[in-house]
Amino acid sequence: MAAISNAVANTCCSPSPLLRRRRATAMAERAQFLLAIAVVVRAFGVAAGGASLGVNYGQVADNLPPPQAAALLLRALNATRVKLYDADARVLSAFAGSGADFTVGLPDRLVPRLATDPSAAAAWVRANVLPHIPATSITAITVGNEVLSGNDSTMLRSLLPAMQSLHAALAACNLTARVAVTTAHSLAVLSSSFPPSSAAFRRELLPYITPLLAFLAKTNSPFLINAYPYFAYKADPGRVDLNYVLFEANAGVGDPATGLHYDNMLHAQVDAVRAAICRANYGKPVEIRVSETGWPSQGDDDEAGATPENAARYNGNLMRLVAQGKGTPAAPGEALQVYVFALFNEDMKPGPASERHYGLFKPDGTPAYDVGVKAPTIGGSWKGRGNGTTGGGAGGLVVAEGPGGADGAGPGTGFYTVSAAAHKVKRWQCWESLLFATVFLAMASGLCWS
């Protein structure tokens, strides 16, 4: 009887072949996700005290993982700054206590309303900012996106009043020292951009840009620019040097008026904006930040250069410049703050195929392309600054050798990493071990993605 009972029990408790296959598939998926984390952790570390990496977290997709998974990827990237295009409460809650500094977005559709109704600005702050701070560090709000590049006269007139209204709402909550109000622009606001020193804003936009610059200077807020050297290469691949746009070794170009030499297009674009701001003659200088830049890993047949290899080279070399705290030729002492576009491929973005392939990751959490790093050393710990500054670290930064050599030149340059003082390396290794142990235990217990 006992033998029969044991046989029945074994039959009832033993998983069916179908269930075993499902479990094996689930475990394989979890292992794939952990492997992706391992690759990225090894590839992207930026030590405390260096220039901090920013990443755009867009969500125009129907297949993205939950914010908790995105938080894990961003921690692995050691990205201390995250930029949203809205104020998604799920995302902001998922990052509570993370130390990351968030830029949140007020959508275009709300700009005219805030421009005419101060109570709407106050309500927006109460609903989208106050519930999350200080647990989640919100350091900036962007009002609309590339508004001045459009042709909606109502939006053009409403932009600055909406920014002023939002700033007043933050002031009522004593938050203006913590949260800046700004807006992002495309390079289409310029009438010319080369040579950089000759750049100027489009004349018809000056009535809007000049007072906007005065507002940014008065409130100590940055001027945001979305800069994509890829667009220039795509438009004229026969004349634009690919190495020049990918930060690879090249002859570069000179600015005859200033004598400055540019070895990459992104720096030339940023300095063109700098010259245009100076030419607007509005008053005090403002900080320039690159709010978007990136390179697609795939595109349509007529989209030259949209390949995984070029995406890896562009973003890899860009990461190295950020890690080294390099400024532009016109402002070499000012570390350029950059937000890479984007965290994920977004399958619902309209337009050409490239628009859906700017992500560092696929929606399943695996890298979108081979980052190609050789034996990197990762130092530092993931600590953002509540006031949006990076601060100084103890000990110098050392760029790890990548496939292109210690100088970063040559083809195939991957994501470079940074190591800090030895005592910080040990601290990071401890954190890294805990991260992997946590994910591994979650996998083993079947909790991941359940």
Catalytic positions, written as ranges: 146, 292
Contact 42, 378 (CB under 8 A): yes
Tally Cβ neighbours within 10 Å of residue 222.
Answer: 18
For the CA atoms of 313, 319, 322, 323, the dihedral, rounded to the nearest 10 degrees, stands at: -130
* CB burial readout 252-267, b (16+ within 10 A) else e: ebebeeeebebbbbbb
* Sign, CA torsion 101/107/112/118: negative
The answer to whether 52 and 386 are in contact (CB under 8 A) is: no
Contacts for 118 with CB less than 8 Å, ≥ 6 apart: 165, 168, 169
CA distance 268 to 265: 5
Q: Which of 382, 414, 390 is nearest to 400 (CA)?
A: 414
DSSP line for 346-408: -TT--SSGGGG---SB-TTSSBSS-----S----S-----TTS-----SS--EEPPBTTBTT-
| One-letter identity of residue 153 | S
Query: How far is it, in rounded angstroms, from Cα 17 to Cα 402?
Result: 46
Do 108 and 145 touch, CB atoms closer than 8 A? yes
Q: How far apart are CA 72 and CA 76, in angstroms?
A: 6
Query: Among 66, 35, 38, 40, which Cα is nearest to 53's?
Result: 40
Q: Which of 253, 145, 242, 281 is nearest to 193 (CA)?
A: 253
